[in-house]
Amino acid sequence: MGLVLKNGRLLNLETGEREALEILIVGESIAEVAEQIDAADHETIDLNGNLILPGFLDMHVHLRQPGFEAKETIETGTAAAARGGFTTVACMPNTRPVLDSPELIRYVYEKTAQEGSCTVLPYGAITKGELGEELTDIAGLKAAGVIGITDDGVGVQSSSLMREAMRTAAALDLPVVIHSEDEDLAKDGCMNEGVVSKRLGLPGIPGLAESAMIARDILLAEDTGAHLHVCHISDAASVELVRHAKSRGLKVTTEVTPHHLLLTEAIIDQTDASDANMKVNPPIRTEKDRLACLQGLLDGTIDMVATDHAPHTEEEKQRPFQTAPFGFVGLEIAFPLLYTELVQTGHLPLHELVKKFTVNPAQVFKLDRGSLTVGKVADLTVVDLDTERTITGEELKTKGRNTPFMGKTVQGWSVLTINQGRITYQGK
């Protein structure tokens, strides 16, 4: 007994064509893709002409468990992922305790098996406790199943420690995933350094705090042969550095968030920094930076979209701008936002956007995902491109309400998500 998806259109990611094909799922895998499938022995779902896409991958998510369950849990975070069309998320280790030991990596896998609504691939920390002082047991983390190492949330300040981490990671074929931030340059900043921070009298984080660290780490990656993956790129000079590294054939990849593609620091200017739901790290920057990120995504310098889903409690986000924590939720709204703002406006074709959520992250992290052909894992999402919905707190499955996009009306919402053959989200 399997499941046949009828009356859907499968998006061909090479040509952009929408093909009237049916899919038979048996167990965890795709058993058949054909114009017509005999459904006599199977359950069927009528997709009402909606579009079938490979399940999305998000390589930058904060699930907050263990330790910060008031912000999010593996259960709520993966439910949000499924609603957003995601079937795989990579979770960040800045939990409490930090994911810096094989036992904690096994904990994430076990918890996901019990409560998860998508595949969760954990990153392990580069340094114990993300304190930047002592390397973790990187080989032990790899054996426990990490897909990369990162101290996301903070930058690794010590160049010699980073060099050592990259040497080890290169030998283990593990990506080194960097939160690029020179703390000395970033000081105690709470927003982008520039005209707006000056007007508001708030301490700024210069783009240089990001780009200087990326420059260092590109050189270290060249020195060690490590695969360097740059998290949440946000600054024009950073994009140029990655472009240059790629042109020289270095193993350097990067991701960009929907908020850095769509917003500028004007959102803080307009609200006089009265709303910490506009506060994120790296900060939302200038129009020049935003356009550089967009151009980087279009020309392939930036490999993929990642949400940097970073839930916080409403109480935390009600604090004054300077003391509230950084971060936005993003899993449930990323695809509709970018479909509405980039595809419908003609910046890029739909299938190109979909690649940045599917085949590109799969390829960069060497995951056998992102393709809907026979024998592959049945990870997919069905998207209704036409129905408009307004982003409201009530509908969100994440515990977080911290997004600057609240109240925005967008289209391109998932109506069905299937992870390893199992329905993980079904909605309107």
Ligand X SMILES: NC(=O)N[C@@H](CC(=O)O)C(=O)O
| Active-site amino acid positions | 308
Residue 384, Cβ density class (10 Å: 0-12 exposed, 13-18 middle, ≥19 buried): buried
Under rule CB under 6 A, residue 259 binds ligand X: no
Under rule CB under 5 A, residue 179 binds Zn ion: yes
Are 256 and 296 in contact, with CB atoms under 8 Å apart? yes
The smaller minimum CB distance to ligand X, of residues 63 and 354, is found at 63
- Using CB under 6 A, which of 62, 111, 163, 317 touches ligand X? 62
- Sequence-distant (≥ 6) Cβ neighbours of residue 6 within 8 angstroms: 22, 37, 39, 44, 45, 46, 47
Q: How far apart are CA 343 and CA 51, in angstroms?
A: 15
Flag whether 260 is marked binding.
Answer: no
**In terms of DSSP bridges, do strands 43-46 and 3-6 run parallel, antiparallel, or are they unpaired?**
parallel
Please give the size of the binding site for ligand X, defined by CB under 6 A.
12
- Using CB under 6 A, which of 281, 360, 381, 417 touches ligand X? 281
Of residues 114-173, those binding ligand X (CB under 6 A): 152-153
Token pair listed for 150: 């990162």
Flag whether 152 is marked binding.
Answer: yes
Under rule CB under 5 A, residue 62 binds Zn ion: no
Q: Which range in 213-221, 223-231, 252-260, 289-297 contacts Zn ion by CB under 5 A?
A: 223-231
In which residue are the tokens 């109240």 written?
A: 407
Are 105 and 122 in contact, with CB atoms under 8 Å apart? yes
Of residues 324-383, those binding ligand X (CB under 6 A): 325-327
Smallest separation, CB 5 to Zn ion (Å) = 37
Flag whether 281 is marked binding.
Answer: yes
Q: How far apart are CA 337 and CA 228, in angstroms?
A: 28
Please give the size of the binding site for Zn ion, defined by CB under 5 A.
3
Binding mask 10-39 for ligand X (x = CB under 6 A): ------------------------------
Would you tell me the crossing angle of helices 207-224 and 236-247 to the nearest 10 degrees? 20
Smallest separation, CB 325 to ligand X (Å) = 6
Tell me 219's DSSP state. Answer: H
Token pair listed for 113: 């098996």
The radius of gyration of the chain's CA atoms, rounded to the nearest angstrom, is: 21
Query: Which of Zn ion, ligand X, none does residue 262 bind to, with CB < 5 to 8 Å depending on kind?
Result: none
The smaller minimum CB distance to ligand X, of residues 248 and 319, is found at 319
State the residue number with the nearest CB to ligand X: 326
Helix (H, G, I), strand (E, B) or coil at 426: strand
In which residue are the tokens 């506009």 written?
A: 278
- Using CB under 6 A, which of 51, 280, 329, 334 touches ligand X? 280
Are 33 and 373 in contact, with CB atoms under 8 Å apart? yes
The smaller minimum CB distance to ligand X, of residues 104 and 354, is found at 104
- Using CB under 6 A, which of 289, 308, 332, 379 touches ligand X? 308
- Using CB under 5 A, which of 152, 303, 379, 384 touches Zn ion? 152
Residue 346, Cβ density class (10 Å: 0-12 exposed, 13-18 middle, ≥19 buried): exposed
Q: How far apart are CA 367 and CA 304, in angstroms?
A: 14
Binding residues for Zn(2+): 60, 62, 152, 179, 232, 308
- Which chain residues interact with Zn ion by CB under 5 A? 152, 179, 231
Task: List residues near ligand X by CB under 6 A.
Answer: 62, 94, 152-153, 179, 280-281, 308, 310, 325-327
The binding site for substrate comprises 62-64, 94, 281, 312, 326-327
